[in-house]
Structures are given as C-alpha cells and as structure tokens.
Amino acid sequence: MNFTGKAQRLSDFDLPRVGALIGVGEDEIHAVLDVEARGRGFDKQSRPVMLFEPHIFYRELDGSERDSAVKMGLAYPKWRRNYPKDSYPRLIEAMKINGEAALRSASWGLGQVMGFNCSLCRYSSAKAMVTDFLDSEGAQLEAMVQFMLSAGLDDELRRHDWAGFARGYNGPAYAKHKYHHRLKAAFEKWAKIPDTKMKRGAASGIFLRSAA
C-alpha cells in the first residue's frame, strides 16, 4: 500500500463548517486537533500522521500470526512507551503479517482516529478509511467528527466537559497523560484568536461521510 496521495491541507473554512455540524465553533475543533495531532494531518513526506500501537496489534491477532508478530517485536500484550521517530517502517512490517489488522492497530490523521474505529466513522474497513485519508485533511476531519457523533462525545465537547471528552476519546488513561488539561489549555488559547468569518450558508458546504 502506498501511503502518499494528494495530501491536501484544510481550507480556512473547513473547521467552522464541520464544527457547525455538531454545534461547536472552530475553537473546540482546533483544541482537539492540537492535542491529538499537533494541528496537522500529514508528515513531511506527505503521509498521514500515524502512530502504530504494538499492544493493539497483539490484540488484533491470534495464533501463528500473533506468534510471528511477537517474535519480530511488532506486538506485545501491554502498552510500552518505546515509539520510534517514524512508525511507518514498523507498520509496513506488520502489514506483511496481516494488512488489515496492522492498519486497525494505528491511529491516523488529524484526529488520530484508531483504525479499529473505522466502522464508527462509517467506513467498511480500516483500509478504506486510510485510503480516504491519503488525499485530504478534510476527509480526516470529517471522520474525526463522525467518530465523535458515533461515540456520543459531541455533547461533552459542546459543554466543554474536557475530562468527559478525553475519557471517551483517549480511554481511561486520559488523566495520567493530562489530556483534559491539554484540551482545556488549547481551547483557551484558540478562544483568544478571532474566528474565521463565514458567509451565510457556508456550513452546508461539507458533509459527513457515508460508508465507503
């Protein structure tokens, strides 16, 4: 699988358009993007920002495939803080064992959506989701918002319940990694910056993605 595509960046209006679909402004969306992917969806090689998680790969496999992955150091039963600078070489090796499982075991794009959450983003597979992510940050942003809706996190975001949102988005370890404090700080930073001015009706220019 080739991980480079058109790599189109967000337009000035994408954030307020998508935010309007779940009843928030661009400041809330900016905050999530800053914390989850440092505000960018592609790396310097125009590939989607990605982090491969060996402990998830372990969970996605069984039998001889899992044994092979463990032997190669690509899978282990518990999370470890030993990420390489570039996760793509490890992902590519994992795909030789099981392509879909490897893609499901990584977080992708602007919102760092896990591949195993592809169905919550209305994609038929992790491969379909990643393929869509190659071309634009807009597709990545739509998937992130669709995940929020499917997971019932849009109301936490509207209430600025940062702990509740972080718990649902990052899991029970959110407090240890201070995701809720980082989200709050990022929101407060963006709240001080003037919003993008939109023309009447502009919010209808972007739509949530249907099943791929």
pLDDT in tens, 124-137: 999 999 999 999 99
The three-state secondary structure class of 114 is strand
Chain position carrying tokens 């969970």:
59
- The 10 Å Cβ neighbour count of residue 189 is 13
CA quadruple 60, 61, 62, 66: dihedral positive or negative? Answer: negative
In this prediction, residue 204 has a pLDDT band, given cuts at 50, 70 and 90, of very low
d(CA 35, CA 75): 26
d(CA 41, CA 24): 21
Give the predicted TM-score (pTM) of the model. 0.85
The phi-psi region of residue 160 (left if phi > 0; otherwise alpha if psi is between -120 and 50; otherwise beta) is: left
Model pLDDT for residues 57-93, shown as the tens digit of each residue: 999 999 999 999 999 999 999 999 889 999 999 999 9
